[in-house]
Amino acid sequence: MPRIFFALDLPEKIKDNLVQLQLKIPHASSAVKLVERGNLHLTLLFCGEVTDEALQQMLLQAQAAARAFSCFTVSIGGVGVFPSPSRPRVFWAGVREGGEQLTRLAAALSRAVGIVPGNPFSPHLTLGRVRQGKRASSGSFLEQKDFFAGIFTADRFFCLESTLTKHGPVYTKVREFMLAGQVPEK
């Protein structure tokens, strides 16, 4: 069964800036597994393993959800860690603008496809995860609070399949969903 999630892709310039930010994560080579540049994305909803039949229904429902949303602006900036600075497990970049729209889109998508997420939606981009059995310091990374990766128009999202390999996950785009409405003026 495919492992499925829905996400926004990012412009190349923003990915470039996020890769530079990843260099600020302490112990990135040993304790922290960085997300590969090509896998950087903004998750809207993780669905887990679904049957092919369920996936087809989810794709139809996701299309309806996409049509109900207009395009909006997203800016990526700021940093943080989950669950706490004293014991980071995930290093992330934040969303400065567009977080409310992302939250509404994620909730609408969740309702449409019938998947209730395990945790409340918190818009962010995962940059790295602390490896099992390892410890890392959030130290100098949290000093990057003024970090700004860029701004873009969210005019579509994707359904992706995640295939786990010994080298890390491989993401394959299953379908693209265009949002309705006009692109906002910059």
For residue range 66-87, list pLDDT tens digits in order. 999 999 999 999 999 999 999 9
Phi and psi, residue 96, nearest 5°: -90, -40
What residues make up the domain containing 106?
A: 3-178
Q: What is the pLDDT of residues 154-170, one digit of tens each?
A: 999 999 999 999 988 99
Residue 27 annotated as catalytic: no
Residue 167 annotated as catalytic: no
Within a domain: 183 = no
Q: What is the pLDDT of residues 33-48, one digit of tens each?
A: 999 999 999 999 999 9
Mean pLDDT of the chain: 94
Within a domain: 78 = yes
Within a domain: 185 = no
**CA angle (25 as vertex; 22, 30 as ends), nearest 5:** 105
Within a domain: 90 = yes
Is residue 173 within 8 Å of 160, Cβ to Cβ?
yes
Which tokens sit at 14?
Answer: 């923003």
- Give the global pTM: 0.92
pLDDT value at residue 11 = 98
CA-to-CA separations, 150 to 10, 11, 17, 18, 95, in angstroms, rounded: 10, 9, 8, 10, 10
CB atoms within 10 A of CB 62: 22
Within a domain: 135 = yes
Is residue 151 within 8 Å of 136, Cβ to Cβ?
no
Q: Which of 40, 43, 79, 124 is catalytic?
A: 124
Asked whether residue 185 carries a pLDDT value surpassing 60, the answer given is: no
Asked whether residue 183 carries a pLDDT value surpassing 80, the answer given is: no
Is residue 173 within 8 Å of 41, Cβ to Cβ?
no
Within a domain: 106 = yes
pLDDT value at residue 26 = 84
CA-to-CA separations, 83 to 48, 70, 90, 92, 186, in angstroms, rounded: 22, 32, 7, 11, 35
107 Cβ partners below 8 Å, 6+ apart? 121
Q: Give the number of domains in the chain.
A: 1
State the pLDDT confidence band at 118, using cuts at 50, 70 and 90.
Answer: confident
Q: Which of 10, 41, 58, 128 is catalytic?
A: 41
Within a domain: 184 = no
Percent of the chain with pLDDT over 90: 86
State the pLDDT confidence band at 139, using cuts at 50, 70 and 90.
Answer: confident
CATH code for the domain in which residue 140 is found: 3.90.1140.10
pLDDT value at residue 151 = 98
Within a domain: 186 = no
